[in-house]
């Protein structure tokens, strides 16, 4: 049960277990590396291997929905079961699905992922604001009602991102800046020192002039295999926002499997590095 808002629960688990977020991204090459078939059965073995090894020692997990969806209903069932197991172990689950739509369609996504009794109920969901920040309102309302959270795309690490994110709005700020302003307003309205509405800010973007102090979490993908490093996190996020960073790493951790001890060692090593870099 979500007895407290997502931001409160996230801060507590990061303080207790460290800031590391393990991305569960079952690429075909990782299944191959683990000696598993590229099937729903292989997906299940891979996913549950990660869950069994790390669920009680890492605070946050981010399964990438696409790698489960590619196996159809059988793959989505694995995602559902993995989410249940992780949450039962006390970890928080961010489903990385980047949903974005309007009206009742967005409300449908919110009901599936954010409602406490939703079929894919997780702790937070990644969403896309590029139909307008206001299009997220059904997800914002559901998240508030259910004690869940959102991570909204703001400054992503892919090279195509600046084409939209650095463009200026009619009111003057960049699109990314407008998204960050919107998140800051939501968190301020909720009156929490660490809110439930976060931004996705890539760990490989280098420095930015945008104000990243949104009074909420900053999900930072792009670490490890994508080139981001623990040492560079403070350069990207600055002193004010550093403690709010949720550093997400997948292949750096998952490549150490299938042996549970290897996964645990890799996760502990990464978590220690991020603790040091972010001032824990």
Task: Identify the pLDDT of residue 234.
Answer: 85
This prediction has a pTM of: 0.96
Task: Identify the pLDDT of residue 235.
Answer: 83
Cα 121 from Cα 119, distance rounded (Å): 6
Q: For tokens 């890492």, name the residue.
A: 58
Task: Identify the pLDDT of residue 1.
Answer: 53
Task: Identify the pLDDT of residue 142.
Answer: 97
Closest of 30, 10, 7 to residue 19, by C-alpha: 10
Strands 92-99 and 197-201: unpaired
Task: Identify the pLDDT of residue 157.
Answer: 83
For 219, residues 6+ apart whose C-beta sits below 8 A from its C-beta are 21, 62, 94, 126, 151, 198, 199, 200, 201, 246, 248
Low-confidence ranges of the chain (pLDDT < 70): 1, 225
The answer to whether 98 is a known catalytic residue is: yes
Reported CATH class of domain 6-225+243-275: alpha beta
CA quadruple 178, 175, 161, 212: dihedral sign: negative
In 32-167, DSSP assigns E strands to 60-63, 92-99, 124-127, 149-155
| pLDDT tens figures, 39-81 | 999 999 999 999 999 999 999 999 999 999 999 999 999 999 9
Cα 12 from Cα 18, distance rounded (Å): 10
SS3 220: strand
Task: Identify the pLDDT of residue 167.
Answer: 86
Catalytic residue, from 62, 98, 99, 144: name it. 98
């Amino acid at each position: 049960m979500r007895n407290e808002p997502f931001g409160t629960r996230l801060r507590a688990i990061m303080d207790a277990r460290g800031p590391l977020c393990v991305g569960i991204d079952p690429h075909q090459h990782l299944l191959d590396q683990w000696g598993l078939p590229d099937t729903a059965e292989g997906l299940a073995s891979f996913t549950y291997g990660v869950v069994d090894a790390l669920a009680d020692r890492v605070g946050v997990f981010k399964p990438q929905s696409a790698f489960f969806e590619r196996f159809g209903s059988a793959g989505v069932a694995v995602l559902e079961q993995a989410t249940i197991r992780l949450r039962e172990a006390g970890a928080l689950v961010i489903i990385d699905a980047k949903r974005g739509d309007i009206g009742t369609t967005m409300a449908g996504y919110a009901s599936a992922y954010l409602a406490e009794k939703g079929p894919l109920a997780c702790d937070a969901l990644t969403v896309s604001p590029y139909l307008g920040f206001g299009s997220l309102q059904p997800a914002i309302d559901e998240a508030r009602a259910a004690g869940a959270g959102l991570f909204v795309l703001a400054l992503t690490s892919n090279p195509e991102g600046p084409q939209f994110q650095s463009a200026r709005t009619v009111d003057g700020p960049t699109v990314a800046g407008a998204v960050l302003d919107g998140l800051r307003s939501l968190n301020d309205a909720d009156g929490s020192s660490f809110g439930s509405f976060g931004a996705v800010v890539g760990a490989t973007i280098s420095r930015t002039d945008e104000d990243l102090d949104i009074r909420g979490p900053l999900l930072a993908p792009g670490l490890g295999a994508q080139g981001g490093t623990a040492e560079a996190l403070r350069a990207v996020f600055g002193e004010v926002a550093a403690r709010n960073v949720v550093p997400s790493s997948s292949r750096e951790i998952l490549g150490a499997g299938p042996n549970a001890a290897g996964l645990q060692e890799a996760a502990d090593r990464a978590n220690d590095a991020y603790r040091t870099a972010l001032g824990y």
